[in-house]
Amino acid sequence: MAEMSVDRKRRRRPEISIFQWLTLALVAAFIIVPFYTTILGGFKSIGELRTNPFGLPASWDPANFTGIIFGTALFRSLWNSLFIACSTVALSVLVSSMAAFALAHIRFFGSKFLMSFFMLGLLFPASTAILPLFIKLRDLGLLDKHLGIIIAQVAFSLAFSIVLFHSFFKRLPGELIDAARMDNCGYLRIYWYITLPLSLPIIATVGVFNFVGSWNSFLLPLIVLNTDTNYTWPLGIMQFQGQYGSDWPKILAYLTLTIIPAIGFFLLAQRYIISGLTGGAVKG
């Protein structure tokens, strides 16, 4: 009820001034135009890009798209990215939730120190350590292997994931765990049967976050992979762009095919992405 009356008052005195609306419209155009021209550009001929940049294409010729779809490179690279992203998510959710569970619920000597130690990871963005990481992966024999990328990504996402899990686990009602302990239920079973099923929202957040990070990552695969067939899609698209130089309609078609699934995923998972950002950010 209170909210409704607030709402009514807002409507009487509009929150958003005309000047603000104008900015919003300008910013919206600024965001949309590149997307719009990219997606339509795949249907246009190269000459048409210059003569008719904003209009609809003269003919909806899908040749650029079908050429790419029926080639092997795109789907192979998307598949590689998907495999790496899913493995990263599974492994990082498992490993970080276990560690966070132990840090949150089991009292042991040095647990506070260990938590601070993991928090150090928030200081190491992968790009600062990329060079020694490359050497380390080489020494471990993981160059040009997807496994190398996966475990490196998991390692670098640990700090952030553990922080998110830890603060979530701490907020779960402690009585639940005490009661389970009274019933002689071990920590392993508490973790698996009580904590994890209650933690689906945070699992989704950590999962989505790591998925997007992995799906979009470029520097790490660039350094680790060197065989075409192992390439992830960002490497694939850079290679494609290198091959076709300024045959823009082809490149734009390729771009469109890679961003459409990303946009779809984003619209579905938006909620979790935002809660991860703001939740993680506020926890610092």
Between residue 45 and residue 64, which ones bind another protein under the rule CB under 8 A? Answer: 46, 49-50, 53
Q: Is 266 in the site for another protein (CB under 8 A)?
A: yes
Q: Where are the alpha helices (DSSP H) in 120-247?
A: 130-139, 146-171, 174-182, 187-189, 196-198, 200-216, 219-224, 233-244
Rounded to a whole number of angstroms, the minimum distance from the CB of residue 23 to another protein is 6
Nearer to another protein, 1 or 267 (CB): 267
- How many Å separate Cα 232 from the centre of its chain? 14
Residue span binding another protein (CB under 8 A) among the ranges 60-68, 71-79, 193-201, 208-216 = 208-216
Rounded to a whole number of angstroms, the minimum distance from the CB of residue 60 to another protein is 19
**Number of amino acids touching another protein (CB under 8 A):** 106
Name the residue type at position 255.
Answer: L
Q: Is 93 in the site for another protein (CB under 8 A)?
A: no
Q: Is 186 in the site for another protein (CB under 8 A)?
A: yes
Name the residue type at position 247.
Answer: D
Q: Is 73 in the site for another protein (CB under 8 A)?
A: no
Rounded to a whole number of angstroms, the minimum distance from the CB of residue 224 to another protein is 12
Convert 153-180 to b/e letters by CB count within 10 Å (16 or more is b).
bbbbbbbbbbbbbbbbbeebeeeebeeb
User: Binders of another protein among 119-158, rule CB under 8 A?
Assistant: 119-125, 127-136, 138, 151-152, 154-156, 158
Q: Is 173 in the site for another protein (CB under 8 A)?
A: no
Q: Is 113 in the site for another protein (CB under 8 A)?
A: no
Q: Is 276 in the site for another protein (CB under 8 A)?
A: no
Nearest Cα to 64, choosing from 233, 240, 215? Answer: 240
Own/partner pairs, 126-130, CB within 8 angstroms, 24+ separation = 126/152, 126/153, 126/156, 126/219, 126/220, 127/219, 129/156, 130/219, 130/220, 130/223
Length of the chain: 284
Q: Is 243 in the site for another protein (CB under 8 A)?
A: no
Among 43, 64, 146, 166, which residue sits at the site for another protein (rule: CB under 8 A)? 166
Rounded to a whole number of angstroms, the minimum distance from the CB of residue 273 to another protein is 7
* Number of neighbouring beta carbons within 10 Å of residue 81: 24
Residue span binding another protein (CB under 8 A) among the ranges 26-34, 62-70, 72-80, 198-206 = 26-34
Residue span binding another protein (CB under 8 A) among the ranges 60-68, 71-79, 161-169, 194-202 = 161-169
Q: Is 107 in the site for another protein (CB under 8 A)?
A: yes
Spell out the residues 6+ positions from residue 176 whose beta carbon is closer than 8 angstroms to its own: 194, 198
Q: Is 204 in the site for another protein (CB under 8 A)?
A: no
Greatest CA separation for the chain: 76
User: Which residue is associated with the tokens 């089991």?
Assistant: 106
Three-state DSSP at 191 gives helix
Among 40, 41, 84, 203, which residue sits at the site for another protein (rule: CB under 8 A)? 41
Q: Is 115 in the site for another protein (CB under 8 A)?
A: yes
